[in-house]
Amino acid sequence: MKEYQINVNNSKNQIQKFIVEEYDNYVVLKQYLSNEMDLVEIPAKINNKNVTVVGDCCFFNHPEIIGVYFSSAIQSIGNAAFAYCKGISKLDLPDSIKKIGISAFIDCTGLNRVVMPKHLKVLSAGLFAFCHLNCDAEIVLPHELEEIDVHAFYSGDSFELKIPDTVKRIAVGAFNGGPKVITSLPYDKCWYLDWPYGEKIVFSDGQEGIVSNITYVGIDCTNSEILEVTIGNKRQNIFYPSCEENVYKFENIHSQQMMQEDIKNNPELEELYQAWLNGLV
Q: Enumerate the domain spans of the chain.
A: 1-194, 200-277
Distance between CA atoms of residues 101 and 126, nearest Å? 9
Nearest to 243 by CA among 210, 208, 207, 217: 217
φ/ψ bin of 279: left (φ > 0), alpha (ψ from -120 to 50), beta (otherwise): left
Beta carbons within 10 angstroms of residue 49's beta carbon: 15
Distance between CA atoms of residues 272 and 220, nearest Å? 10
- The confidence score (pLDDT) of residue 118 equals 96
Q: Give the sheet arrangement for strand 138-140, strand by strand.
A: 90-92, 113-115, 138-140
- Average pLDDT along the chain, 281 residues, taken 10 residues at a time: 93 93 97 94 96 98 96 97 97 97 97 97 97 94 96 92 96 94 92 93 96 91 93 95 91 95 91 91 82
- The confidence score (pLDDT) of residue 157 equals 85
Distance between CA atoms of residues 103 and 32, nearest Å? 18
Q: What is the CATH number of domain 1-194?
A: 3.80.10.10
pTM above 0.95, yes or no: no
- The confidence score (pLDDT) of residue 136 equals 92
Q: In the chain, where does DSSP find H-type helix?
A: 253-265, 269-277
- The confidence score (pLDDT) of residue 281 equals 82
Q: Which residues contact 95 (CB under 8 A, 6 or more apart)?
A: 72, 117, 118, 119
Going by the DSSP 8-state scheme, the letter that residue 172 receives in this structure is T
- The confidence score (pLDDT) of residue 95 equals 97
